Structure 1
Amino acid sequence: MAGEYVTLVCDDVPHDVVLTDPGARVLDIAQVVRRLTGLSLWRSKVLARQAPAIVLDGVPQEDAEAAVAALRNAGAQAEVRQQPEPDFLTP
């Protein structure tokens, strides 16, 4: 059994929602971040000002795309990034 590896295949690879630029209306973006994450308004505003920042981590693709659409509708620039697959075979 030594030296055998098993590769797991997932149906849905987790995605990250990255806020790249909050734009001019930081408070509006902070309110969207608050709604998406459940953070307080103050912490959401701090997160929005720290762009580029990961707003959501490890969510399904549909949820990530909906979050990016909400951020873009509020005037921010955001993108969905697929999380890299872990490399278990390298020591």
Structure 2
Amino acid sequence: MADEYLLLVCDDMPHDVVLTDSGSRTLDVAQVVRRLTGLSLWRSKVLAMQVPAMILDGVPQEDAEAAVMALRNVGARAEVRGTAGS
């Protein structure tokens, strides 16, 4: 049990990036999603239209914050959520 405690305190917890609203520029958001995930443009557009959608799962905090800023720069609403169970 002490090992679990040290793991939670010392290690960087993974974060998720959740798209909550794609805004009016859906194609621009889809292009950013494509760049972040490596999905095709069509699948990225589908993901951008199905909100709330998890864009990235289990990434470091710096990467998650950069992804959220990239999405916000094209008019989307996104947030970083910490994963408590990992």
Shared fold (TM-score greater than 0.5)?
A: yes
Instruction: Find out whether 1:66 has 2:66 as its counterpart.
Output: yes
Equivalent residue, structure 2, for 1:75: 75
1:61, 1:85 → 2: CA distance?
Answer: 16
Percent identity among equivalent residues?
74
Which structure 1 segments of 5+ residues have no match?
87-91
| TM-score, normalising length: structure 2 | 0.90
Question: Match for residue 28 of structure 1?
Answer: 28
Give the aligned residue type for 1:69. M
Give the whole-Å Cα distance in 1 for the aligned partners of 2:51 and 2:31. Answer: 15
- Unaligned runs of 5+ residues in structure 2 are none
Residue 46 (1) aligns with residue 46 (2): yes
Q: Alpha-carbon deviation of 1:84?
A: 1.3
State the distance in 2 between where 1:85 and 1:39 align: 26
Question: CA RMSD, aligned part only?
Answer: 1.1
Report what 1:89 is aligned to.
Answer: none
In 1, the alpha carbon distance for the partners of 2:37 and 2:17 equals 11
Q: Deviation per CA, 1:22-78, whole angstroms, max 9, x where unpaired?
A: 000100000000000000000000000001000000000000000000000010000
TM-score of the superposition, structure 1-length normalised?
0.85
Which of structure 1's runs of 4+ aligned residues deviate more than 4 A?
none
Q: Which has the larger radius of gyration?
A: 1
